[in-house]
Amino acid sequence: MRRLIIALFAGLLSLQPVAPALAQTAAEVDSSLDGLFGEHKSYRAFFEKLQSAVAAGDKQAIAGMVDYPFHGRIAGKAVRIRDAAHFVADYDKIVTDKVKKAVANQTYATLFANWQGVCIGDGEVWFSGVGDANVIRITAIND
């Protein structure tokens, strides 16, 4: 039994690390979004507009990109933001430095998408088509 345990342990020590997945390309993101949502151009344009608005600190523009009512967390407390005016009033509590950094550091080619939408960073921002018109809006911001 002891030899078996030693052999198993030695085998574990000799395992090679798994190579990380290769980075995807913008074309692969396009293809993924096409498959998930039927097209990619409006998602790419939304992402680029969001990055520009965050970089410029344009609270009004970002507030106009949000799906309302918006459910989020401010200082660990669940809140319901009714409209753009309330979003702007609480902007600095919602769009924190961590969120701004995630948006700034994200590249189009490294976006993650699934049936729920498109993710920026480690889930700091999610956006997707909403409503009958499938208008792209921010659906979640997580600090």
Nearest Cα residue to 43 out of 100, 111, 94: 111
Give the number of domains in the chain: 1
> Residue 36's domain is classified under what CATH number?
3.10.450
- Which portions of the chain are predicted below pLDDT 50? 1-22
Domain span holding position 42: 23-141
User: Is the alpha carbon torsion for 90, 69, 99, 79 positive or negative?
Assistant: positive
Query: What confidence score (pLDDT) does residue 29 get?
Result: 96
Q: Is residue 91 part of a domain?
A: yes
Q: Are strands 77-81 and 112-114 parallel, antiparallel or unpaired?
A: unpaired
Q: What is the pLDDT of residues 34-71, one digit of tens each?
A: 999 999 999 999 999 999 999 999 999 999 999 999 98
In a domain, 18, yes or no: no
Instruction: Please state whether beta strands 117-120 and 70-74 pair in parallel, antiparallel, or not at all (unpaired).
Output: unpaired
Flag whether 13 is in a domain. no
What is the predicted pLDDT for the residue at 80? Answer: 94
Beta bridge partners of 81: 70
d(CA 90, CA 70): 12
